[in-house]
Chain A
Amino acid sequence: MKRKAIIFTGALLLTLAAVSMAFAFGGGNGRKGKFLYRKSCRSCHGKTASDLSPATKTQAEWTALFKDVSKLPCNKEWQGLPDKDLNDIFTYLHDYAKDSPTPAKCS
């Protein structure tokens, strides 16, 4: 019920704002995010790209980076990723950030 209400409010706000950046991040499923990050991002990060883990950055830095994902250098690599999945990934990175209670590496 609560989840629905949030999504609904979110949708409403978005429609009202009608901005180009399409998603408000936060409150996703961090457990699933850990898997999705492994699946969609670890193919490069940790191999051909920087070894990004939640603990690489602070919560504020993650929030800033995800404010406009179209500006991320690899954005076109994962264009097809649903916003919901990206939000789960953000939640994982953010909730286990360097300054979170439980900073996490990827392994």
Chain B
Amino acid sequence: MLARKNISMLGALLTCLAILASYPAISQAEEAKSFKKYPAIADYSLVAKYAKVPKPKGAMIIDSRPYKPKYVAGYIPTAVSIPASQFDKMTDQLPSDKGTLLIFYCGGLKCPLSHKSAFKAQALGYTNIKVYAKGFPDWKKHAPYYSVGLETLNKMLADGDDYMLVDARPHKKFLKGAIPSSISIPDRLFAQKRGLLPTEKKNTMLIYYCGGYKCLLSHKSAIKARALGYRKVMVAEAGYPGWKEMYGAGSGMVVQAGEVEGSIDVEQFKKALSENPEAMQVIDVRDPAEFSDGHLPGAVNMTVDQIEKNPEAIASDKPVVFVCSTGARSGEAYYMIREMRPELEEVFYLEAECSYNPDGSYDIKPNK
């Protein structure tokens, strides 16, 4: 995280230097003026009226920033990605009714992309165009949550970032297949299952998803989570249908049992971790504080107490492997889930001495 921030700061610095070097005479104020602004401006409250599911009719919100890395990293709910650089090629994405309200936005007051696209849409004959000039930074400041692309989620999963991914669909759907590393908190049971959410509200990233772009549940849960005080709430709008299309469903991994009852073969586990971590569901049963100091890529954090209260939160579409630091708590979780969820066949625990580092590296030694 820190490293990435540094790099982007360095990038920003270099860009500034480059600009200074090439236009030494233009001050920053002049630069901001240097693009033509579209006259009709939308503010947050107007955008918020349309950035909702189900999508209000007669409007389209358009993100003019590049698809990668900007749009996938975070966008206004329901917004369509039409990068300004691709506008001419992507006009078929615009609604056929020229009277539709089009709201363009990009990266804030200094960003010309939304204005540029608005003028182009005007030239195409659209009659009701607005630019949300304060753009995404303003949205992030005021809105209860924003949306993220599955690409971002997939990267966070691979990097072992700290986040909590929640499937807001009914539990039955979750059992049939879910995005790796997610837990099930159906929107309907939000209040009842509040205890499953992490206690840390300021920095925890909470990401909700459900059955795709038309599904309301993740949006509803996101709003409730924000009301509980969580500060970083997101929705992966493409949901499970989108995930299945992009990254495929379940794994077909056949787990080799280890020597000890209920354990997974440690070598196979290590191999799967480095080659195909999505093939299994790793549940780390240590305390949240231990977990946030370092954990395996794609692991979900659920303590034995939490599992005992909510054994249904574990999906059954791939092999489940419980891990902790010695095998004691994970073994306990294994025997508990055998009893509470006897229908789950592919459940294992890691009988090994494990240490986890903040950078995502780890060391796993089988117990003798």
Residues of A within 8 A of B (CB): 29, 31-32, 34-36, 38-39, 96, 102, 104
Q: Is the interface of A mostly helix, strand, loop or mixed?
A: helix
- Listed by A's residue number, 18 A-B pairs whose Cβ atoms lie within 8 Å are A31-B260, A31-B261, A31-B328, A32-B335, A34-B328, A34-B332, A34-B335, A35-B331, A35-B333, A35-B334, A35-B335, A35-B339, A36-B335, A38-B308, A38-B332, A38-B336, A96-B328, A102-B326
CB distance from B145 to the nearest CB of A (A): 34
For A35, give its contact among B261, B326, B336, B351 (CB under 8 Å). B336
B177 at the interface (CB under 8 A from A): no
Q: Which residues of B contact A35 (CB under 8 A)?
A: 331-336, 339
For A34, give its contact among B260, B331, B339 (CB under 8 Å). B331
* Complexed CA–CA distance, A1 and B217 (Å): 54
Cβ-closest chain A residue relative to B326: A102
Interface residues on B, range: 10 to 19
B327 at the interface (CB under 8 A from A): yes
Produce 1/0 per residue, B135-173, CB < 8 A to A: 000000000000000000000000000000000000000
Q: Which residues of A contact B328 (CB under 8 A)?
A: 31, 34, 96, 104
* Complexed CA–CA distance, A29 and B327 (Å): 12
Closest 9 CB pairs between A and B? A31-B331, A35-B335, A34-B332, A35-B332, A32-B335, A35-B336, A34-B328, A104-B328, A34-B331
Cβ-closest chain A residue relative to B262: A31
Decide: A31 and B326 in contact? CB cutoff 8 A: no
CB distance from B99 to the nearest CB of A (A): 63
Residues of B within 8 A of A (CB): 260-262, 304, 308, 326-329, 331-336, 339, 349, 351
* Complexed CA–CA distance, A29 and B332 (Å): 11
* Complexed CA–CA distance, A35 and B304 (Å): 10
For A31, give its contact among B304, B308, B327, B339 (CB under 8 Å). B327
CB distance from A85 to the nearest CB of B (A): 11
Q: Which residues of B contact A96 (CB under 8 A)?
A: 328
CB distance from A102 to the nearest CB of B (A): 7
Q: Which residues of A contact B261 (CB under 8 A)?
A: 29, 31-32
CB distance from B182 to the nearest CB of A (A): 25
* Complexed CA–CA distance, A32 and B336 (Å): 8
* Complexed CA–CA distance, A34 and B304 (Å): 11
CB distance from B54 to the nearest CB of A (A): 45
Additional 6 contacts, C-beta under 8 A, given A31-B334, A35-B332: A29-B261, A31-B332, A34-B335, A35-B334, A35-B335, A35-B339
CB distance from B110 to the nearest CB of A (A): 52
CB distance from A6 to the nearest CB of B (A): 16
Cβ-closest chain A residue relative to B303: A107
Q: Which residues of B contact A34 (CB under 8 A)?
A: 328-329, 331-332, 335
Q: Which residues of A contact B304 (CB under 8 A)?
A: 38
Report which residue of A31, A35, A104 has the largest number of chain B beta carbons within 10 angstroms of its beta carbon: A31
Q: Which residues of A contact B333 (CB under 8 A)?
A: 35
* Complexed CA–CA distance, A31 and B349 (Å): 10
Cβ-closest chain B residue relative to A102: B326
Cβ-closest chain B residue relative to A31: B331
Cβ-closest chain A residue relative to B327: A31
Q: Which residues of A contact B335 (CB under 8 A)?
A: 31-32, 34-36
